[in-house]
Amino acid sequence: MRRACITGGAGFIGSNLADRLTADGVEVVVVDDFRSGRREFVADLLKQTGATLIEGDVASDAVLDHALAGCDTVFHLQANADVRFGFDHPRRDIEQNIATTSAVLEAMRRNGVERIVFASTGSVYGEPAIHPTPESCPFPVQTSLYASSKVAAEGLISTYAHAFNITGVVLRFVSILGERYTHGHVFDFYRALKRDPTRLRVLGDGRQEKSYLYIGDCVEGILAALGATPAGTFDVFNLGTDETLVVDDSVRLICERLDVTPEIEHAGGVRGWPGDSPLILLDCTKLRAHGWSPRLGIEESVLRTLDWFERNQAVVLDEAVAR
């Protein structure tokens, strides 16, 4: 890899990936419109030689042509990540997740970019019959517009890989935690407890089992999956740990770290919201067979995240941070 474009490169995963690639000597072009990306996350990066920022919307062909010129690889991470309130704006996932992926693929054709790595999600499996869930598990039933839009984008990438001999790598992530994490329920709980440490409302029954992966392990997994995919082929890899953590246990970790003892109120029901999955646990044997494995367990990932929250109150408590 000589020069890579990262869409959503000022976001949580994108900026961590950008740091890693730059440290490795890769020229990095960050594209971000700062709807949910943060300038703080790329401030140090942009002091490095070979790192560039293009501020703009990846829906724009001009922005994409500018960003992709000379690149051999694009990491397409930009997305609407609002899983929970998808039905409040039912066209947003189509526009921001499907149409933009199409725009990136067309820009790759125009600019001769040979490889795309795409951030998909373990929620494409809906509520699968098999746990841990392997990549080959059928997923006939979608439970969120977000996951539907990721399924659609995966299909587009597969189509282009097949038609134009580009390399397409899809990663189905569990929830990612760690430095710069600013979206999801560990974040929501932390903010709520900072506002009011005496009580906390937890959606669902608190027994939903979630799987998490530390951002450092995620970035290494992305690169391992890319390395494991032969040129001109398409492949899909799960990326997660072999553990789960129930929601109530992450609440406990946060309360201990903050030294608070709130009254916990459970909203009830096995799902936090319509489309929430009561159990996400991915089978990551496939990528592990290529030498990757996560270094951090879930509890340590949560604790590192909380440490980062404590050191970055200005970001974490900023009301403008994307939910």
- Residues lying near a copy of itself in the complex (CB under 8 A): 87, 90-91, 94, 98-99, 102, 105-106, 126, 135-138, 140-145, 147-149, 151-152, 155-156, 158-159, 162-163, 234, 236, 274-275
Alpha carbon 305 to its chain centroid, in Å, reads 15
CB nearer to a copy of itself: pick between 167 and 301: 167
Could you tell me the smallest distance in angstroms from the CB atom of residue 195 to a copy of itself? 30
* Min separation Cβ 83 and a copy of itself, Å: 11
φ, ψ of residue 113 to 5 degrees: the values are -85, 130
- Nearer residue to a copy of itself within complex by CB, 233 or 313: 233
Least separation in angstroms between CB 86 and a copy of itself: 8
To the nearest whole angstrom, how small is the minimum distance from the Cβ of residue 139 to a copy of itself?
Answer: 8
Q: Residue 73: which of 21, 144, 127 has the closest Cα?
A: 21
- For residue 281, the minimal CB distance to a copy of itself (Å) is 19
Residue number with CB closer to a copy of itself (145 or 171): 145
Comparison of 135 and 217: residue with beta carbon closer to a copy of itself:
135
Nearer to a copy of itself, 136 or 198 (CB): 136
User: What minimum distance in Å lies between the beta carbon of 301 and a copy of itself?
Assistant: 29
Tokens of 121: 């999600």
If the CB atoms of residues 105 and 119 are measured against a copy of itself, the closer one turns out to be 105
Residue 84 one-letter amino acid = R
Is residue 52 classed as helix, strand or coil in its secondary structure? Answer: strand
C-alpha span between 304 and 179 (Å, rounded): 7
Cβ atoms of residues 83 and 144 within 8 Å: yes
Helix, strand, coil content of the chain in percent (nearest 5): 40, 20, 40
> Closest CB to a copy of itself among 55 and 106?
106
Phi, psi of 117, deg, nearest 5: -115, 130
Q: How far is the CB of 124 from a copy of itself (least distance, A)?
A: 9
Pick from 99, 76, 96: which is nearest to 86 by CA?
Answer: 96
Whole-number Å distance between alpha carbons of 10 and 8: 6
Structure tokens at 27: 């020229």
φ, ψ for residue 276, nearest 5 deg: -65, 145
- Between CA 121 and CA 11 the distance in angstroms is 16
